[in-house]
A and B are shown apart, each in its own frame.
Chain A
Amino acid sequence: MTSPLEQKKIKIAGPSVVTANRTWDGIVVYRTAAKSWSADLSEAVIVRNSDEAKALLAESVADDVGAVGAYIAPVQVGDDGKVEPGNLREQIRRTGVTIGQPAQV
């Protein structure tokens, strides 16, 4: 886990979002423009440079009651504006485990 403190020297390589886990139930959430959290990636604020990323993270970390462990994660934005997670880890966080869960099999 990347602690927010380590992210002081934030550098992003492309479009990014801030993601975290919602405090009361732990589900994956993304920071929204309304300064809130949403489970829907399409509602996430997209930042495109380090200053924006830093500001968004600072604001998100301050909302410690809403969600925990906030960090910056890469996304891909398609030509149609559709936002997708930028790596496998974030893909798994968004869509769930890549395996069948026993109780549902």
Chain B
Amino acid sequence: MITLTNLSKIFRTELIETHALRDINLQVNEGEFAALTGPSGSGKSTLLNILGTLENFDAGDYLLDGISVKGLSDAALSKLRNEKIGFIFQSFNLIKDFSIYDNIELPLRYRGLKASERKQRIEHALELVGLHARRDYLPGQLSGGQQQRVAIARAIAGQPRILLADEPTGNLDSLMARQVMELLEQINQQGCTILMVTHDPDQARRAGRHIQIIDGQLSDAVLYDPLAAQSA
């Protein structure tokens, strides 16, 4: 469902040009769970942002379900993000003064769903992440693991086909990280394609597919030992 051909991204500032991604060719199929690893600064987040259409690119093409995102208007891209893609961030990115319920409601609001439909989807997502009892809490009243589960609930409430997760367990201790990982696996089993940036070799192993990116390029070589990167 995702096809990248010769995709490149350059960040230009007044002083320097950073080739964040060079000549990426990548095919991700429906239902895959892919782990994206690589050293810090290698371009993982940039790749994820491009896949999520949050960022544009300089060369190559990106086909989503056979359609190039290059020609799409802002409205079409927004709709695509809203309906097909869910984001999970390392720092959760919940709105602090919105209740858990209101946070999960955000993407559904932008889709223009009816109140009853929104409610049903939010309840379902809360059920799935096991936080139904906390629906009226504020994010600050939850633990990090719980907050990330809220973020996951927000990402999946719209029933996206792709979930893009940028180091979702990066801020969590190992127990909480395992819970989040199990949750993602469960979501994947229900048919959702997942791309997840991680530094955890266990997680990378558990994912069905391992994509490695070094210095902006995809690499098959086992040049990079995630264990070593983690201890560094």
The finding on whether chains A and B are genuine partners in a shared complex, rather than unrelated, reads: no
